[in-house]
Amino acid sequence: MFKVTHAESLAPGVKRLEIEAPRIARKQQPGQFVIVRVYEEGERIPLTIEKSDPQRGTISIVVQEVGKTTRLLNRLEAGDTLLDVVGPLGQASEIEKFGTVVVMGGGVGTAMAYPTAAALKKAGNFVVCIVGARDKERVILERELRLVSDVLLITTDDGSYGAKGLVTDKLREMIDRGTHIDRVLAIGPIPMMKAVAEVTRPSAIRTIVSLNPIMLDGTGMCGGCRVLVDGKSQFACVDGPEFDAHLVDFSTLQHRNAMYREAEKESLDRCTQETSSHA
């Protein structure tokens, strides 16, 4: 059992959970994730670790409600428990002094990009963060990001905060202005990461994306998270989750992530019914 030590809402349907997991807290590096199972009949889902505190033995995850399991996670409060938390899994982000690095976060992907942005800043990079959200309410981690970025650009779809538009608009502006960029890291929804890859492709800027395929064991045993990179199968759980954006086959990933859409809907509907009948 893993105890939730702190829970706070960051945006509508987005929650930060701090969880007691001393072994994981000691080992976590930016870019790595955990797999959690909330309760006995629950599924296993991967979640990127936002940060960890080795002294207190805690890790933090940021969860956006999209299905049943993430809804259950969003309902957890301090003192509640998760049945299983395992990690830190995956390869850590490559951190060195690259020069100018643009870190891009789309929606809750911002929370996953944050630890890598912080590490890149610490390694002496000039860090430009571009984060996007649907509207002002959904902009997350602004304060944290401001502390680790040299430039922070915010976009919202509706223009209620920052610039109206997409994160890729800002990236394109930078490139068009002739800003020298050594590396781009993009984490967010698949269409956003795919769009970033297309923006940087012509100028061949090294671009890294963190992929989020469906996972099961997270240790390389099942191959369910296989992604096509440069025409070859790679296991996101052990070979990734970060890959060269220009080599990733995003449409295959998108197809595979929709494999259980009907089942996911059925689970969520049942969950909604159960909740309303208990209310």
Footprint of other proteins (CB under 8 A): 23-24, 27, 37, 41-44, 68-69, 83-89, 216-224, 226, 228, 233, 235, 238, 249, 252, 255-256, 258-260, 263-264, 266-267, 270
CB of 232 to other proteins, least distance (A): 9
Whose Cβ is closer to other proteins: residue 18's or residue 101's? 18
CB of 253 to other proteins, least distance (A): 9
CB of 60 to other proteins, least distance (A): 17
Largest CA distance in the chain: 59
Whose Cβ is closer to other proteins: residue 137's or residue 264's? 264
Q: Strand ranges (DSSP E) for 179-257? A: 183-187, 207-210, 226-229, 232-235, 242-244
Start-to-end CA span in the chain (Å): 27
Task: Give the distance, in angstroms, between the CA of residue 94 and the centroid of all CA atoms in the same chain.
Answer: 16
Whose Cβ is closer to other proteins: residue 88's or residue 132's? 88
Close Cβ partners of 140 (under 8 Å, ≥ 6 residues apart): 10, 11, 14, 62, 108, 110, 111, 133
Residue type, 199: V
CB of 141 to other proteins, least distance (A): 26
Residue 85's region, left for phi above 0, alpha for psi from -120 to 50, else beta, is beta
Structure tokens at 248: 């990733």
The secondary element (H helix, E strand) that includes residue 156 is strand 151-156
Whose Cβ is closer to other proteins: residue 68's or residue 170's? 68
Helices marked H in the chain — which ranges?
22-27, 68-74, 109-122, 142-148, 167-176, 190-200, 250-257, 261-278
Whose Cβ is closer to other proteins: residue 163's or residue 216's? 216
Whose Cβ is closer to other proteins: residue 144's or residue 217's? 217
Provide the b/e sequence for 6-38 (b: ≥16 CB within 10 Å).
ebeebbeebbbbbbbbeebbeebbbbbbbbbbb
Alpha carbon distance 15, 23 (integer Å): 23
Whose Cβ is closer to other proteins: residue 43's or residue 137's? 43
CB of 233 to other proteins, least distance (A): 6
Are the C-beta atoms of residues 36 and 84 closer than 8 Å to each other? Answer: yes
CB of 223 to other proteins, least distance (A): 4
CB of 125 to other proteins, least distance (A): 26
Whose Cβ is closer to other proteins: residue 233's or residue 275's? 233
CB of 135 to other proteins, least distance (A): 31
